[in-house]
Amino acid sequence: MKIFIDSADIEEIREANSLGVIDGVTTNPSLVAKTGRPFEQALADICAEVDGPVSAEVLSTEAPAMIEEGRRLAALHDNIVVKIPMISEGLKATRVLSSEGIGVNVTLIFQPAQGLLAAKAGAAYLSPFVGRLDDISEDGMAMVGTLLQILSNYDYDAEVLVASIRNPLHFLEAARMGADVATCPLSVINQLTKHPLTDHGLAKFLADWEKVPK
């Protein structure tokens, strides 16, 4: 499974990338706003740091404007993937942009049929949001499972990119189900590296080493 970092903060992205396990980056307007930096500057820094797909979201909500915005974002760097919201106008824009060879990540997917439509429209990535479904007492990972099962019946190119991951269990379940990508905040990536017995074991090894005659 590929691992993307879900952040627009270049320091967080550098920190995650230094672990050597990061394949790409997803951003969204809220994450960009948190950085307090101009969008295109942030994107340039991210593309210089990570050699992999970097999702950049359009803000327009009508297909013609989404297409224009998408073309402009894609022209910024070869690794930019244009993020398009899963609305009817977004499907139209996805069809046009993908037929021009521009990678599209269809975002804000909350039910499997939306994912199937986005795959049919030519999306390179489908982003089901699991945490936000859990937040309203729906089972986000169950929805991902259904989407993966539906896609396995056919032959679409789209990769399932599990988004809105809030904890290590979301990540593990995504891997168990065979999702193509999981995008995680730095906090979750850090949690994935840890186990108390690892820390305890290391502390013991280091303490015992002190007893070795030097």
Residue 127 within binding range of ligand E4P, rule CB under 6 A? yes
CB of 162 to ligand E4P, least distance (A): 9
Looking only at residues 4 through 63 of this chain, which bind ligand E4P when binding is defined by CB under 6 A?
A: 6, 26, 28
Residue 98 within binding range of ligand E4P, rule CB under 6 A? no
CB of 61 to ligand E4P, least distance (A): 17
Each residue of 103-134: b (16+ CB within 10 Å) or e? bbbbbbbbebebbbbbbebbbbbbbbbbeebb
CB of 24 to ligand E4P, least distance (A): 11
Q: Which residue has the tokens 């949690």?
A: 191
Using an 8 Å Cβ cutoff, are 168 and 135 in contact?
Answer: no
Say how many Å lie between the first and final Cα of the chain, rounded. Answer: 45
Of 83, 120, 194, 204, catalytic: 83
Nearer CB in complex with ligand E4P: 137/153: 137
Count of positions on this chain that bind ligand E4P (CB under 6 A): 11
Q: Is residue 120 annotated as part of the catalytic site, yes or no?
A: no
CB of 56 to ligand E4P, least distance (A): 11
Looking only at residues 148 through 187 of this chain, which bind ligand E4P when binding is defined by CB under 6 A?
A: 163-164, 183
Residue 143 within binding range of ligand E4P, rule CB under 6 A? no
Q: Which range of residues in 36-44, 91-99, 129-137, 199-207 is near ligand E4P by CB under 6 A?
A: 129-137
CB of 185 to ligand E4P, least distance (A): 7
Q: Which residues bind ligand E4P (CB under 6 A)?
A: 6, 26, 28, 107, 127, 129, 131-132, 163-164, 183
Active-site residue set? 83
